[in-house]
Amino acid sequence: MATSRLTAAAGQFRPVSLRRRGLVLERAILESALEQLSTVGWNALTMEGVAAGAQTGKAAVYRRWPSKEDLVADALRAGLPDLDEAPDRGGIREDLYELCRQVRAAMYSKPGFALRSVLYECDSGAAERFHGVIVQQVIEPSTRLFREVVRRGMERGDVRPDATSELVFDVIPGLMMYRSKVCGSEWTDEELAEMIDRIMVPLLRPVAG
């Protein structure tokens, strides 16, 4: 009798499947790809390693993404932080400083590290695969915000009316990427402020009459 009761009770507690499916599994795979990129880099990233990090089989990865280029492109699309709001702190210096801090935070997030590993390690053929992602989610949003900050400065009168050259909008991203890629160092708050005070503000401010 006791044995039959135990058998019946055991039947009420069926094993719970921990296998993930659908969007949950896809999210886990994309997060694992970003983790692999930010730690081992593009060259050492493998579909097997991504599968292990997502605790799934490599067949589940290959069913969704036939190559690591396809997988990484989707991981970057899903993971890169949005740059969608230009700061308004009342002055061009303060606005640029806050925007630079936002860009720096994106650069040094896990997706930012992943993107930089792609940019630094990919050959030209593979890098072309990510061109659209970089333009749509990094270059265009950041340029739009810099333009908005400068336009607002013109309206306030603390930016000269002809400060609309494309070169102006390349200065901050160019310097930040140079420091990161070539020098291998980060930007401190003090260095961001110095870049704005010594380069950007003199470049943008109205010429004294």
Residue-wise pLDDT tens digits, 69-83: 999 999 998 998 887
Confidence label for 184 from pLDDT (cuts 50, 70 and 90) = low
Output 51 or 129, whichever has higher pLDDT.
51
Which ranges in 40-123 belong to alpha helices (H)?
47-53, 58-64, 68-79, 92-107, 110-121
pTM for this structure? 0.76
CATH 1.10.357 maps onto the chain at 92-204
Interval 158-174 mean pLDDT: 87
Pick the CATH number of 92-204 from 3.40.720, 1.10.357, 1.10.3470, 3.40.50: 1.10.357
**65-85 as b/e: b if 16+ CB within 10 A:** beebbebbbbbbeebbeebee
Write down the residue that tokens 């493998």 correspond to. Answer: 46
- Residues 42, 103, 183, 44: what is their CA dihedral angle, to the nearest 10 degrees? -10
Q: Are 140 and 65 in contact (CB under 8 A)?
A: no
| Model confidence at 154: pLDDT above 90 | yes
Q: Which of 47-56, 128-137, 139-148 is predicted with the least confidence, judged by mean pLDDT?
A: 128-137
What per-residue confidence (pLDDT) applies to 115? Answer: 85
CA distance 102 to 114: 17
CATH 1.10.10.60 maps onto the chain at 18-79
| Model confidence at 59: pLDDT above 50 | yes
Output 1 or 106, whichever has higher pLDDT.
106
Please tell me the class of the 18-79 domain.
mainly alpha
CA distance 5 to 58: 42
Share of the chain above pLDDT 70, in %: 88
- Mean pLDDT of the chain, nearest integer: 84
What per-residue confidence (pLDDT) applies to 199? Answer: 94
Q: Are 87 and 72 in contact (CB under 8 A)?
A: no
What per-residue confidence (pLDDT) applies to 127? Answer: 75
